[in-house]
Structure 1
Amino acid sequence: MIQPLIDTRPLRTSPAFRRLLIGRTVSTLGGFMTMVTVMFQVWDVTRSTAWTGAVGLAQALPLVVFGLFAGAWVDRADRRRVYLAATVGQAACSLLLAVQGFTGHVPVPAVLVLVAVQAAFGALGAPAAGVFVPRLLPRDQVAAGLALNQITGQSMMLLGPALAGVLLGRLGIGTCYLLDALSFGLAFHGAFGLPALPPQGEPSRAGLHGVLDGLRFLAGHRVVRGALITDLAATVLSFPVSLFPLVNAERFGNDPRTLGLFLSALAVGGIAATALSGAVTRFGRPGPVMLGAAAVWGAALALFGLTSNPWAGLALLVVAGAGDATSVVSRSTIVQTRTPDALLGRVTAAEQIVGQAGPSLGNVRAGLVAGWTTGATSLISGGLLCLLAVAAVAATTPELRDGAAVPAD
């Protein structure tokens, strides 16, 4: 009998995974609160979109610059200790942000430095956390564990900004930062009871040599490489967020209520698809699922560019969000089950960079094309290019197209 609801076996079979998930979920909530709080504080002080744009740069640049080197370091050490150290570093940065929030006398560049340092600790902790699921769960439950991570993360993405908005008005920026600092305590508790998790196999070589070893693995492993290329192509060619204000003005009468629903529709689709992911994660063949889901993302966005009915547009964004969430879970399943443990930190770091850089580059591409043509044209062309890219990956990577089954333990 097919079980369509999300597979909750990891919560029942692994107390360690359950503690870890609870801690990381609360910490993710705090992270989204801090993201909104920083944007609010910087705008309140500067009234400058250039400075608010710099917030995004401070959050993204450390991951791109240090990510692969952090992954190489993670593949030389006990991943549990690295994650705990990174969590303490992030908590300390949030605590310093809270102090300056209560005092109110710190210049904006200093705030951005704290944000960047916190992001650097995050760039170290992310590849360490990337080994937890495949080390704590049996192979046939890895996809289910990743789906649970996905649905809790997306739920916090909806709740965190809304909660921050309420608390900012009532308690101020210092309290929001302080709550984020406290949330890292639960993340620390969730990982503290884990066993030691050193690399299984030959540890990474130091420095650039270890990074190059990871890149050579990515270049030579067709399934993992195809999964990352599919994700990068889908986001670079068709990421729609920067187009939402323009398309709303072109097609939907510039109604601010419609614009506000666009991002929510993507998140709702992602949550719904993950909540109903049981059959997908039990299927055990993430390769064709990922390709199909990426194609759904591109097709839905192309159709969104064609519609002038706001309800149809929102429905298509829900479908796009569902395709994106399914693709992310399938891609992560491929990465975490096909990568040797000794290389997993570096490959997870590369996956994180793709996830960060792809949407940013996609927003730039979308904006440039819209500037030359229209927002609708940019959406339609991006969706069609995404479909072509997915078809090209499927045609040139039969190992991914025909199965990419989860290997047995």
Structure 2
Amino acid sequence: MPGEKRRLSSRRQAEAHPLRKVLAVDDNPLEPHPLIPERPRWSHRLRGLTMDLTPLRTSREYRLLWLGSGISYIGTQLTFVAIPYQVYRITGSTLAVGLTALFELVPLLLLSLVGGAVADAVDRRKLLLVTDSLLALNSLILALHATGDNPKVWILYALAAVNAGLYAMGSPGLRSATPHLLPPEQLVAAAALTGSVQNLGAVAGPMIAGTLIAVIGLPWTYGLDLLTYLVSIVFIFLIAPIPPLPDSNRVSARSVLDGIRFLKGRHVLQGSFVVDINAMVFGMPTALFPAFALERYGGGPEIVGFLYAAPSAGALLAALLSGWTGKIRRQGLAVYIAVLSWGGSLVAFGLSATLLLGLVFLAIAGAADEISAIFRNAILQTAAPKHMQGRLSGLELAVVASGPSLGDLEAGVVASATSIGFAVVSGGFLCIAGVGVIALLMPQFARYDARNPTP
């Protein structure tokens, strides 16, 4: 029949799309689960876009871990906003607020590698229980300190540093626990699920925090963060133990360095780190958002908030529509394409004359960054051996923590010497050029196939 022929022709054209061949799209990467009923025909068309919830359906342990970490992450965003706000209220100095980030960055960089070595050597469940309990105690101290008549800035700096240090110690254990709970073919979907809750927290957390600070005050805002940690502890307690592998090394300076030395000659894992550093250093313009809001868009603080929220909103949308990512086998190449899209979107943002266009391009950039993160996490969790995943997750955290700070520095220096528009546009082009250089130096990363994972 003519209608049937048209449908078959459209399907053949879609299957013959050159990008599908380049990325090695797998139309049926997973066998249907016997407990998951067949979806009606109309929903099959949406399955390729909507988020894959298979990890939540099939693994009780992962479901508990995802819920607990997601709830505590949203609470963390409350403190992320409350500490700088309290510092500014005490001092009235933007420099004092900026120093908060410095006090947080140092323990993040120093302890993330240590936390990775600890994660490989101990029961990850116990590690998360200890770090979450100490983070809850830190939130309690912040709440009690906020009730005083004369709160001290140095105490806030110290507590912010402790908060960051505990996060650095626990995060590698959290990041590297997933491969112990799920089969390899579900790791891409798990990365998208993790990204969805983190981006939801990044979008909603600051807005909720601002409202809470205005309505119930700082002490109770810190108290709600404490409550989220208590809920997280309950969920993690219900998880079965995640013991280290029998041949795991004890925590030592040598075991920490072994994680760095392991990368030697392993171009796929090196590429996943280097391409992210390239994207963050040359393409991260968040330090210029206030200037864009005031000088280009003629707005105030509310416009700054929109600019900060736009990338996270785009990333959240990308995570919610990430069902197709599980079909991609050439995941390294997909990362390159995503980072090129990130750089191109930032070039367009730098050239945008209206706020609406600027927000759209920032949202696209955030979506591209989320797709890159999904595939990079899947590569790390699949290609790296399990006895090294904690240390490599710690190294990844160090990259993630330092990259945006270096990007803000690069953007600020270039903008002060030229203009804010030139700083963003040139950074986007340098990011694109960096991908080309990395692709030439590390062709193995583009050839990485998820069905034959090699580091």
State the TM-score, normalized to the length of structure 2.
Answer: 0.86
181-190 or 271-280, which deviates more: 181-190
How far apart, in 2, do the equivalents of 1:284 and 1:21 lie? 25
Does residue 307 in structure 1 map to residue 352 in structure 2? yes
Gaps of 5+ in 1: none
Q: How does 1:140-289 map to 2 (within 5 A)?
A: 140-200=185-245, 202-254=247-299, 256-289=301-334
Does residue 61 in structure 1 map to residue 106 in structure 2? yes
Percent identity, please: 34
How far apart, in 1, do the equivalents of 2:305 and 2:79 lie? 20
- Correspondence for 1:43: 88
How far apart, in 2, do the equivalents of 1:73 and 1:63 lie? 15
Shift of residue 194 of structure 1?
2.3
Shift of residue 155 of structure 1?
0.4
Give the match's secondary structure for 1:131.
helix
Cα displacement string for residues 253-299 of structure 1 (whole angstroms, at most 9, x for unaligned residues):
34554433212211111011111110013324321111111110001
Give the match's secondary structure for 1:204.
coil
- Which residue type is aligned with residue 372 of structure 2? S
State the TM-score, normalized to the length of structure 1.
Answer: 0.96
42-51 or 360-369, which deviates more: 42-51
Give the match's secondary structure for 1:220.
coil
- Correspondence for 1:26: 71
- Which residue type is aligned with residue 126 of structure 2? R
- Correspondence for 2:413: 368
Cα displacement string for residues 189-242 of structure 1 (whole angstroms, at most 9, x for unaligned residues):
222122222332532354221122111112321101101100011101111101
Shift of residue 251 of structure 1?
3.0
Query: Do 1:20 and 1:191's aligned partners in 2 also have CA atoms closer than 8 Å?
Result: yes
Q: Which of the numbers 418, 426, 431 marks the counterpart of 1:381? A: 426
How far apart, in 2, do the equivalents of 1:237 and 1:22 lie? 34
Q: Which of the numbers 151, 160, 167 marks the counterpart of 1:122? A: 167
Q: Which of the numbers 44, 61, 70 marks the counterpart of 1:16? A: 61
- Which residue type is aligned with residue 305 of structure 1? G
304-313 or 263-272, which deviates more: 304-313
How far apart, in 2, do the equivalents of 1:289 and 1:245 lie? 32
215-224 or 342-351, which deviates more: 215-224
Q: How does 1:129-144 map to 2 (within 5 A)?
A: 129-144=174-189
Shift of residue 120 of structure 1?
1.2
- Which residue type is aligned with residue 288 of structure 2? L
Query: Would the alpha carbon gap of residues 406 and 237 (structure 1) be closer, same or farther in structure 2, given more than 3 Å must change?
Result: farther
Q: Which of the numbers 124, 131, 153 marks the counterpart of 1:79? A: 124
Shift of residue 398 of structure 1?
2.3
- Correspondence for 2:440: 395
Cα displacement string for residues 80-111 of structure 1 (whole angstroms, at most 9, x for unaligned residues):
11111111111110011111122344411012
Gaps of 5+ in 2: 1-43
Shift of residue 252 of structure 1?
2.3
Query: Would the alpha carbon gap of residues 258 and 118 (structure 1) be closer, same or farther in structure 2, given more than 3 Å must change?
Result: closer
How far apart, in 2, do the equivalents of 1:406 and 1:92 lie? 44
Give the match's secondary structure for 2:121.
coil
- Which residue type is aligned with residue 312 of structure 2? A
Cα displacement string for residues 99-148 of structure 1 (whole angstroms, at most 9, x for unaligned residues):
11223444110122122112211111001112221111111111101110
Query: Do 2:331 and 2:446's aligned partners in 1 also have CA atoms closer than 8 Å?
Result: no
- Correspondence for 2:141: 96
Query: Do 1:288 and 1:404's aligned partners in 2 also have CA atoms closer than 8 Å?
Result: no
**How many equivalent residue pairs?**
408
Query: Do 1:8 and 1:144's aligned partners in 2 also have CA atoms closer than 8 Å?
Result: yes
How far apart, in 1, do the equivalents of 2:300 and 2:121 lie? 53
Query: Would the alpha carbon gap of residues 104 and 59 (structure 1) be closer, same or farther in structure 2, given more than 3 Å must change?
Result: farther
Cα displacement string for residues 24-49 of structure 1 (whole angstroms, at most 9, x for unaligned residues):
11111110001111112111111111
CA RMSD of aligned residues (A): 1.6
How far apart, in 2, do the equivalents of 1:161 and 1:328 lie? 22
- Which residue type is aligned with residue 120 of structure 1? G
Query: Do 1:268 and 1:321's aligned partners in 2 also have CA atoms closer than 8 Å?
Result: yes
How far apart, in 1, do the equivalents of 2:89 and 2:337 lie? 44
- Which residue type is aligned with residue 248 of structure 1? A
